[in-house]
Amino acid sequence: MKRIMTATALSLALISGFSWADTATNTTGSVAAKVSSATDQQLQELTQIANQGFNAMRNIQYARLAIFGGNTELATKLVDQSATLLNDDSVDWSKFVKQAKNPDLTKNDDFVIIDASIALAEDYTVTPEKQAVIDKANAKLKNGDAKGALDDLRLADIAVNETQYLMPIKATRAAVTQAKQLLADGKYYEANLVLRDAEQAIVVTSETLIAGK
């Protein structure tokens, strides 16, 4: 894939994946409208949720490394931090649950996006004109102008795909709670297995933001 932006490009990449209360089925043509209608408060909330979910999962991964390294005290601390992030009462996770095109994906849990990346389509051909548009879009995204970046790419008919990393909230909370107890009981191997399952429960999906021509 030819990358435009990687890591947590939250301002643009995540907007297409969350279910606003009045949002219909997610289609390529509706993405720009979602970006335009999203309020600053909504963007702030979804960024907070994505960051908390990302940090919780990162702590789970680090806790496993700590267990392997024999640092069970650090592992316990990291799992406790994950539990705090996932059970934060100030965050309404339900407001930003991913609406999957495949209902079977989310029928047993609620999924939220914790990370995303944006890439150009595989058949993209570089031209000086389109590269200039991409550079302009990158600059706008860096400055927080998600709508402007998306509009520039769409007007230039540059096909853009998005990869999303989805975390099941209920299963991850349950795994962290179970791992905390196992660590407290000195069952470190079992705790690692539970944390491994939580890590492997992350679902990766790809969808089109802009179809291009």
Q: For residue 210, how many C-alpha atoms fall within 13 Å in the half-sphere facing its CB?
A: 24
- Two structure tokens written together for 102: 């495949």
Of the pLDDT bands very low, low, confident and very high (cuts 50, 70, 90), residue 110 is confident
- What is the SS3 assignment for 110? coil
Q: What average pLDDT score do residues 135-161 get?
A: 80
CB 138 within 8 A of CB 22: no
User: What distance in Å separates the CA atoms of residue 209 and residue 159, rounded to the nearest whole number?
Assistant: 8
Mean pLDDT over 198-206 rounds to: 90
Are 118 and 161 in contact by the 8 Å Cβ rule? The answer is yes
Per-residue pLDDT at 42 exceeds 60: yes
Q: How far is CA 68 from the centre of its chain?
A: 27
pLDDT given for residue 127 in this prediction: 83
Give first-to-last CA distance, the chain, whole Å.
17
Structure tokens at 79: 């799992």
Model confidence band, residue 156 (pLDDT cutoffs 50, 70, 90): confident
Size (the chain), residues = 213
Return d(Cα 188, Cα 55) in angstroms, integer.
22
State pTM to two decimals: 0.73
DSSP states of 143-185:
TT-HHHHHHHHHHTT--EEEEEEEEEHHHHHHHHHHHHHHHHT
Q: What is the mean pLDDT of residues 28-56?
A: 67
CATH superfamily of 2-210: YfdX protein domain (1.20.120.1940)
CA distance 92 to 90: 7
**For residues 84-102, average pLDDT:** 77
Domain ranges of the chain: 2-210
**Mean pLDDT, the chain, as a whole number?**
77
In sequence order, the 6+-apart residues with CB closer than 8 A to the CB of 133 are 152, 153, 156, 158
Between CA 132 and CA 190 the distance in angstroms is 53
Asked if 115 and 50 count as a contact pair (C-beta separation under 8 A), the reply is: yes
Instruction: Answer for the pair 162, 206: CB distance below 8 angstroms, yes or no.
Output: yes
